């Protein structure tokens, strides 16, 4: 498996916790994962999303993120002829 880069952006620690949990799950299965913290305001401005910092914004579809991570893990195990160990990841709360 090649190198995987997980980008996340948030002023809130919970997003980092989830990104790190996904990275740990992938590392446990042999992936080389880097987690990079980037600034949400810069991304929001460039993509035309709100930059209002007086309220919380959640732009990530965490179910899609979890499905993506599961697909990577399942593909790796399929290539080896093994099955991944089920593991529950933390879920974002608003």
Q: Give residue-wise pLDDT tens across range 28-45.
A: 888 887 766 556 667 777
> Three-class SS of residue 27?
helix
Q: State the burial class of residue 69 (Cβ atoms within 10 Å of its Cβ: 0-12, 13-18, 19+).
A: buried
What six digits make up the tokens of 11?
């002023």
The pTM score is 0.39
CB-CB contact of 71 with 31 (8 Å): no
pLDDT-derived band at 84 (thresholds 50, 70, 90) equals: low
Domain ranges of the chain: 3-80
Cα–Cα separations (whole angstroms), residue 83 to 25, 28, 39, 54, 80: 14, 13, 37, 45, 9
Tell me the average pLDDT of the chain.
Answer: 73
């Amino acid at each position: 498996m090649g190198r995987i880069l997980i980008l996340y952006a948030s002023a809130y620690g919970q997003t980092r916790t989830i990104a790190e949990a996904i990275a740990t799950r992938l590392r446990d299965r042999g992936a080389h994962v880097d987690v990079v913290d980037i600034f949400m305001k810069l991304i929001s401005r460039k993509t035309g999303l709100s930059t209002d910092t007086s309220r919380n914004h959640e732009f990530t579809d965490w179910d899609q993120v979890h499905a993506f991570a599961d697909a990577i893990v399942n593909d790796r195990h399929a290539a080896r002829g093994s099955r991944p160990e089920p593991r529950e990841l933390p879920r974002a709360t608003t």
